[in-house]
Every structure is written in structure tokens, then in C-alpha cells.
Structure 1
């Protein structure tokens, strides 16, 4: 394996979020760069909401920053910083990657949903025909990708009921049979085959389940997209009930190939200098 060397020619990518200590994208991307001798590095950048616009505009003005990965809570706000949005980003109303093109313009795209679907399929989760409950309305990309993968219906639960309903209305406009709906009963799992937590509940020490669940059927599949801690209260409860369960790592791994393609990175890039 080629040693990682940073010099004046190193191209930089950043992952922007708040908090940022839980992210695994730098670990995966930097391993790829090192294995393939690519003179590029991905670094975590903690940016608070109060300084998001000014911070991102400053970072994007740096000549050797070629792209950014955007994570919570900035995915919606980052749309305004893109000169062009992909069709998927426009549908979802959020981005999780920004790329500078040869003319200096920035393109935004969204791979959260596609990454999760690819990761779950690699982990042999059943998607087609399933009835899904999603906690947290910020995961619109996940909803679109799940419906495209053939789930039968999706129920969205979010404390902001009006925003959740607007989200569902936008999604159903693309699907004539209206497979998405809003529920105010997040703990009700009757008829649910797949439970996905897209909320941040479970990330902080001492936080419990994202909803007051009681009994889990062993047939239930459970996903918590939180990366840290690796076993959230939801994942722990699911595994105790012998459910198929995973944290967000398959989602990140499922996105890696899409990120590298979007950024135009491959093993034929210029090797690291020593």
C-alpha cells in the first residue's frame, strides 16, 4: 500500500457537518486514495449552522478544494450554494455532494437513498413489496430510493407534521398510486416489514429509542442510519428480538462508488508524490 503523503499538489475534499466526529466517509475515501496512490485527501470539517453560508463560501473559494460531502444538518441549505442541481437533488430538495467543474461552477447531487438501497441489498435485506416505516422526515432521498426499489408502501413519522405532509405530497406527485403517507404514531409497527430511523435520536449518550416501541417481531428488519455509536438503542433492541438489523455503515459503503464517480476519481489519477 502506498504511504499517504500530503504536499502542495494534494487535491482536497471535505465532509461538512455538525457534529462531525461520527462520520466514516474520510476513513473509506482516504483508504481508497492510499490504496490507489491518488494524491488526494478527504478531511472532516465541523461547521455550525450559524456560520454555514459564510464558512462554505470560503471553503468553496479555495482553489485546491475539488468537492464536498454534506452531512447533517446541512443537506437542505447546501442546495442554495450549488450553481446546478441534478434531477435527483431537485426532487429531494437536498444535496449530499458538491463538485467543482472545469469552469469553476458547482454541481450538487444526492446519493443518500441510492447508497442505502445498494447497501441494504448487499446485506440481503428484502425491499421489494415491503411496508416501510421511516422515522425522520429529512430522509426524502431514502423515500424516493426505496419506492424506486419496489417497496409497496412507506409511512413517514416526524415531529413536524406539516413538513412531513408536504414531503409526502411531493413524493406522491411522482407516484400515481400514492404509496407514501404520514403517521403520528411512530411506535405502531402493525403491518410494518422494515423500520428505518433517519432521525438523530440515539446518537447522543443516554438517548433511548427514537419511539416508545414495545414488542419487535423477529420478522422485522431494522435500520438506523446513525453511524456512532455503532450499536444504537434501536439496533440493540432489534438484535435482542432476533431481527435483521444494521446501522448506517452499509449506507456509507453503498455510496462510496457513487461519490468517487461523481468526483471523477479512480485508480488512474496522478500518484502521490514522495
Structure 2
């Protein structure tokens, strides 16, 4: 692709595993839009220089943000939607030539899409992790009116801070705490991702109608999801949130609605990519 095309990208550390370019470029091609979407490795130390360089590039439309930058990028962006206060993490940054960097969060909306589609109506949830994705997911669940939410994290004080920010009177749990009975278990941590230790939890406390949602998508079938399926529980894989949040970001970057009627074809393409 020509470097003169308008482009957006995803940044993170690591970034090689990202499937976002497959998604966005599939949609761009389907819609005949002359633009491209890339992935770029950016370390925490290189974040300031990255934004300085990109803001000078008239072809740059913005970026998606993945681990570990979702909190740090807030230092570089304007926040007209109050995302800092409401969620405390950003995953989408848009830029118009000569204008400010505007940050928002499409993780929350992307996370909710499969739950809303399935008409999920549970009253309790456990979130594993306390990073940027967990912040968006906690906000999303609170917006659905889920009042009984526990956050399980290596640092229970950080988990409690997330609950306090969201105004949820939930519980902060240590990683070795027994899993409470809940209607929805969400892995919002990197555990289970390729190169990371697996998330090993005893799922026996979960009721028969519970759902297990793992936002990790490399690999797609994580040990957690395999354990959930073995128990006959509803399993929601990481491509659901990945595609959902990408669709919202695509509209921001390219001012077009992606062709969601081709999601089955897109999933097949993502699975073939490994």
C-alpha cells in the first residue's frame, strides 16, 4: 500500500499479535475506501515521541491503543467526552490535521455488543484484571445496572480504586480468592494470551446459566474458555469485543459504518490468520 494513503493504526507493546489491521483493512476493501490500517510497536518510553511524530503527519487519522498504554495516553489527549472521569482509560485517539488529539473509549461499547445481542440480563459479575480494559468493562457493566460486581486483581487496592471510580459498591478480590458465584465471569487481563501464563480458576461455583467472557483473542480458544465449554457454560470469545470495538473506531477514523453483515466472513479470515 502507498504511504501517501490516509491511515490509522494500533499501537502497543507487544503488538505483533494484533489482528486489528485484518479487521479494518477487510472493511476498507469491502467499502472501496482508499485508506489503510497498520500496527506499530510503541514502547512506554517512546509514547511521547510517537505522538509528536504522528501529529506532524497529514495522512495520520489516529490510532487504537492496546496494552500497556490505555491509561498513559490520557496525558496526551483532549477529552471532550469526559472519558478520564467516567472510565479512566482510552483506546481510541482521533486526529484532524492541525487539530488536537481527541481520546475516547470504544472498548466499553464493543464489550457490550454480544451481551446486548444475546439479551443478557444477569445481576452479578466478576472481572479479572484491573488495567485499562477492566476499567471500560466495569463502566459498561455498571451502565447496564449490574450492581453486584467483584474485581479480582494482583493488587486488591487497585481493584478497589476501580470500583470506587465507577461508583460500584462491589468487592475487591485477591487472585487466590475463591471465585464467587456469578452470572458473568470476564477475563480482562492478559492471562491466557500467547506468551502469558494461563488464567486458572475453579469454575465450579458458577451456576449452570453463567457466561464466561474472555477478551483474549490470541489464542482464541483460551484454557478459560475451554474449561467453560467443558462445563456447558456460555463461552464468549475475544473476537466479539475486538470486532465490536473496532467497528466503533472505524466509524471515527474513516467516517463510515463497517459492513457488519459480513462478520461471519471476517471471523473466518481472522481464524485463518491464526
Is the pair's TM-score, using the shorter chain for normalization, greater than 0.5?
A: yes
Contact 1:89 1:108 in 2 (8 A): no
SS of the residue 1:182 aligns to: strand
The aligned residue for residue 41 of structure 2 is 46
1:213 to 197, 202, 206: 202
2:163 to 163, 168, 182: 168
Q: Which runs of 5+ in 2 are unaligned?
A: 259-274
- What is the CA distance between 1:57 and its match in structure 2? 2.5
1:93-125, Cα deviation, whole Å (9 max, x unpaired): 211011113542110001111110013323x26
1:35-94, Cα deviation, whole Å (9 max, x unpaired): 111111000111122322223322333221111111111000111111334223432121
Q: Give the Cα separation in 2 of the matches to 1:85 and 1:185.
A: 36
Contact 2:8 2:253 in 1 (8 A): no
- What is the CA distance between 1:9 and its match in structure 2? 4.1
Contact 2:225 2:237 in 1 (8 A): yes
Please tell me whether Structure 1 or Structure 2 has the larger radius of gyration of its CA atoms.
Answer: 1
1:153 to 138, 148, 152: 148
CA 1:31–1:243 in structure 2 vs 1: closer, same or farther (change >3 Å)? same
The aligned residue for residue 204 of structure 1 is 194
1:15 equivalent to 2:15? Answer: no
The aligned residue for residue 272 of structure 2 is none
Q: Give the Cα separation in 1 of the matches to 2:189 and 2:176.
A: 12
1:243 equivalent to 2:236? Answer: no
- What is the CA distance between 1:211 and its match in structure 2? 4.1
Q: Which runs of 5+ in 1 are unaligned?
A: 1-5, 173-177, 269-274
The aligned runs of 1:120-159 (5 Å cut-off) are 120-122=115-117, 124=118, 126=120, 128-138=121-131, 139-159=134-154
The aligned residue for residue 79 of structure 1 is 74
CA 1:132–1:69 in structure 2 vs 1: closer, same or farther (change >3 Å)? same
The aligned residue for residue 3 of structure 1 is none
Contact 1:147 1:153 in 2 (8 A): no
Q: Give the Cα separation in 1 of the matches to 2:8 and 2:178.
A: 41
1:168-196, Cα deviation, whole Å (9 max, x unpaired): 11111xxxxx4433122665333311100
CA 1:133–1:229 in structure 2 vs 1: closer, same or farther (change >3 Å)? same
Structure with larger RCO (C-alpha < 8 A, sep 6+): 1
The aligned runs of 1:60-79 (5 Å cut-off) are 60-79=55-74
**TM-score computed with the length of structure 1 as normaliser:** 0.85
Task: Provide the alpha-carbon RMSD of the alignment.
Answer: 2.2
Contact 1:75 1:96 in 2 (8 A): yes
- The size of the alignment, in residue pairs, is 255
**TM-score computed with the length of structure 2 as normaliser:** 0.85
1:262 to 247, 252, 273: 252
Contact 2:142 2:166 in 1 (8 A): no
Q: Give the Cα separation in 2 of the matches to 1:262 and 1:184.
A: 37
